[in-house]
Amino acid sequence: MTDARLDLAEALKSLPDWRVADDARPALTRTLRFADFNAAFGFMTRVALTADKMDHHPEWSNVYDRVEVLLTTHDADGVTDKDVALARFIDRAAAETGARA
Ligand code: H2B
């Protein structure tokens, strides 16, 4: 079964560090900065392992200490509870890895 699409504004109410992505698809985005590449990549490794267990994967890019994350559910063509759950995990991992924003 496909997950239900959520209203973006509603989803963002509980995710203050996220915003609507400038993207053709409904998606959430957050940019994070870390102390250096090592911290950024450590964060990504941690998120990657959990994302794979969730079978829900971020679209992201990394330049040195910066990681840009975009979350959307391809199967649903929008944002679902899976994106919100992954965003919450990312927020926790970011805080624990010393993200600056
Ligand atoms: N990740 C994301 N972000 N959206 C999806 O719809 C999605 C995914 N689908 N990871 C999963 C994998 C699907 O392709 C597999 C077959 O379960």
pTM of the model: 0.95
Per-residue model confidence as pLDDT tens for the chain (101 residues): 568 999 999 999 999 999 999 999 999 999 999 999 999 999 999 999 999 999 999 999 999 999 999 999 999 999 999 999 999 999 999 999 999 87
Establish whether residue 25 lines the binding site of ligand 1, counting it when its CB lies within 6 angstroms of any ligand atom: no
Establish whether residue 5 lines the binding site of ligand 1, counting it when its CB lies within 6 angstroms of any ligand atom: no
Q: How far is the CA of 9 from the centre of ligand 1 (A)?
A: 23
Q: Which of 33, 27, 36, 38 is nearest to 74 (CA)?
A: 27
Nearest residue (CA) to ligand 1, atom 17: 55
The residue to which tokens 């990681």 are assigned: 67
Q: How far is the CA of 34 from the centre of ligand 1 (A)?
A: 27
